[in-house]
A and B are shown apart, each in its own frame.
Chain A
Amino acid sequence: MAETVRMAETPAAGTVRGPRAGHLRSLAPFPLIVVAGLILPWVTSGAGLFLWELIVIQVVFALGTNLLVGHANIHTFGQAAFYGVGGYAAAVLALEGWNAWLALIAAIVLGSLLGGFVGGLTMRMTGMGTLMVTVAVAQCFSMLSGRLSVFGGDNGLSAIANGFPSTVGVSYWYLLLGICLVAIALMWVIVHSPFGAVLHALRDDPVRVVHMGVDVRRFRVIAFTLSGAFCGLAGSLAAYTQSAVSPEFFFWVISGNALIMCVLGGLNSFWGPALGAVVYVLLSHELQSYFPDMSILAMGIALLVVVLILPRGLVEAPRRLALILPRQTGRKR
């Protein structure tokens, strides 16, 4: 476990600040996202806007995953379970004629309940055990959803009337953006709360945290519950936006995507997974449209490059470049 200490987030050299100053500085991207989201409909529309709708949903999904993976170092390969439960809950309830907001809340609640269940199941495990159990849970759901007729079998459910006052176009974008911004802000508060501090401590030195008398199991269960809520929200929004759900919501591909987005952007920062989600969805969209057969290979190579060369993700890239470049110019002299 001593190895995890090395990965601990350390402040950049020479910028030792109080925790509050550091916290507020990390809020800087938030207004930028708000402004970019507000002017986006003037830049793009139709399919372009739909792509960005998917991107903000994946941002929520990635941030929800990173609460476990990045902030608490709890390994998971089964985020698709929460995503899919959220998606199916919203879809089934909306088709039953529920109010869209109620269905959304039900999806969040079910996601968090499942999160709590998985957290309880893996309470005593670390690392690999948790990975194996989470992936098995997601697989279980994907099999069940393909078989039960309530869930539409292998074809899933489609034509979900999401029931929001504005179902398509610019006003839906603003609605979706609003929901996601609230979720992101909530996540920021959670990560920077005393609870988040305990999670960071668990990540950086679990042994010491145990010896300080913290009930680690309780915090793991709560972290899973919260992550399940956020991923369930992402799944339900995806179901509304695509107006369809299928057993693919539960596939390991979704769990893999969640991890790739997190590590691509940077596990140890708050905004890294958001950046990772944007880059990942754009990249895979382009690949899908130009080289459909190449997309899995390209994703594998991208993941490998990040793991081997840029373990702190794209948010570290500028700093890494800044370290490398002067050295090279120095050599030329």
Chain B
Amino acid sequence: MESLLLPIVNGLGLGAVLFLVAIGLSLQIGVMRILNIANGAFFMLGAYFAVSIFGDRPLSVPEIVLAVLAACLITGLCGAAAEVSVIRRLYDRPGLYPFLGTFAVLLIIQGIVILTYGQIGRSSMRSSAFHSSISVGGLNLSAYNLFLIAIAALVAAGVSLLIHRTSLGRKVTAAAVDRDMAAMLGIHVRRVYFFMLVLSAVLAGLAGSLVSPLMELNPNMAITLLIEALAVVVIGGSGSISGTFVASMIVGILQSVLIRFAPEVADVSVYIAMALIMLLRPQGLMGRREIGVA
């Protein structure tokens, strides 16, 4: 039992990071009908910003909080800049063009990161706080993983409240259900879209800055995590907050447990799970409609 509990907690930590990236993708698919793969670039930016704010020295806890908040803020600004300059022009485009436009944004951000930080990997945030553990019933669990899980749960609850309980959320829902009718009723659909994109960018940046102590940073991290997040969205059902949350946690646990017991199939298991879900339940675990119906 003990040997199973530890990977499960680690998996939930990984799932938390996945969730923060996947929720942005899922919301943008549900509301804006756009597959914004630039979200992966915001994830990467968050990680690089968090690491470069205080340099390479070991950090204290307040400094980490400050670095993470600053990274989220700057990533949000980058998201706003990308929306205003490029992505805004893509919503009305037919066919593959919106996707290609966000792909171009991803490549440009990746190119800038390569020019600034170089192709090779970069060491991440260092602090003794990341290694502290909490003892629960005789088990030493990583405090940082528990913290990640708490953050993800908070974000899930927050986004859910925002969408279902506030007037802004009602506008978002209206814009998602019928854009033209919402616009006719006086809702600034463009503004709603802008807000959703910046929110997604901030959450992806949060994921990046939080994950930076756990992995080596490199310019390829943008898309490798993004592809996993896409699988999560397919499993959870696009547009569903709870579905995305459950799917992220399942995928995290699956990977972490398999790394322990069958490392050969660990990372492929996500895609096998995705294929199974598609065959058995094409709309995803908690999705209401067929994926991608525009």
Contacts and interface: CB of A to CB of B under 8 A. Distances in A.
Interface of A: 1, 3-4, 6-7, 69, 73, 75, 77, 121, 124-133, 135-137, 139-140, 143-144, 147, 252, 256, 259-260, 263, 267, 293-301, 303-304, 307-308, 311
16 contacts: A75-B99, A121-B279, A126-B294, A132-B231, A132-B233, A133-B234, A135-B230, A136-B227, A136-B274, A259-B96, A259-B103, A260-B100, A296-B219, A300-B104, A301-B104, A304-B86
Given A125-B282, A136-B234, A144-B268, A304 B101 contact: yes
A7 B96 CA distance: 11
Contacts of A297: 107-108, 110-112, 114-115
Interface string B263-282: 01001101110110011001
Contacts of B93: 3, 307, 311
Given A252-B223, A297-B108, A304-B108, A136 B230 contact: yes
B271 to A, nearest CB: 4
Given A124-B282, A126-B292, A136-B230, A296 B110 contact: yes
B92 A3 contact: yes
B233 to A, nearest CB: 7
B119 interface: yes
B246 interface: no
A127 B294 contact: yes
Q: Report whether over half of chain B's contact residues are helix, strand or loop; otherwise say mixed.
A: helix
Contact of B267 (A73, A135, A143): A143
B265 to A, nearest CB: 9
B137 interface: no
A133 B112 contact: no
B292 A293 contact: no
B290 to A, nearest CB: 7
Nearest to A117: B275
Interface residues of B, number: 53
Scoring A6, A75, A147, A297 by chain B CB atoms within 10 A of each residue's CB, the highest score goes to A297
Given A73-B95, A75-B99, 20 more contacts: A3-B92, A75-B95, A77-B99, A121-B278, A126-B292, A127-B35, A127-B294, A128-B291, A132-B233, A132-B234, A136-B234, A137-B271, A294-B111, A296-B219, A299-B111, A300-B108, A303-B103, A304-B104, A307-B93, A307-B97
A299 to B, nearest CB: 6
B227 A307 contact: no
A307 B100 CA distance: 7
Q: Is the interface of A mostly helix, strand, loop or mixed?
A: helix
Contacts of A307: 90, 93, 97, 100-101, 104
B278 A133 contact: yes
Contacts of B86: 304, 308
B30 to A, nearest CB: 11
Contacts of A300: 104-111
B217 interface: no
A144 B264 CA distance: 9
Contacts of A73: 95-96
B247 to A, nearest CB: 13
Contacts of B39: none
A109 to B, nearest CB: 22
A121 B292 contact: no
Interface of B: 29, 33, 35, 86, 89-90, 92-97, 99-101, 103-112, 114-115, 118-119, 219, 223, 227, 230-231, 233-234, 238, 264, 267-268, 270-272, 274-275, 278-279, 282, 290-294
Contacts of A294: 111, 115
Contacts of B100: 259-260, 263, 303, 307
A293 B99 CA distance: 24
Contact of B230 (A69, A132, A144, A303): A132
B271 A136 contact: yes
B92 A128 contact: no
A303 B268 contact: no
A129 B234 contact: yes
Given A128-B29, A304-B105, A1 B271 contact: no
A251 to B, nearest CB: 9
Contacts of A304: 86, 101, 104-105, 108
B95 A7 contact: yes
Contacts of B278: 121, 133
B103 A4 contact: no
A1 B174 CA distance: 20
Contact of A296 (B114, B238, B264, B271): B114
Given A147-B264, A308-B89, A127 B292 contact: yes
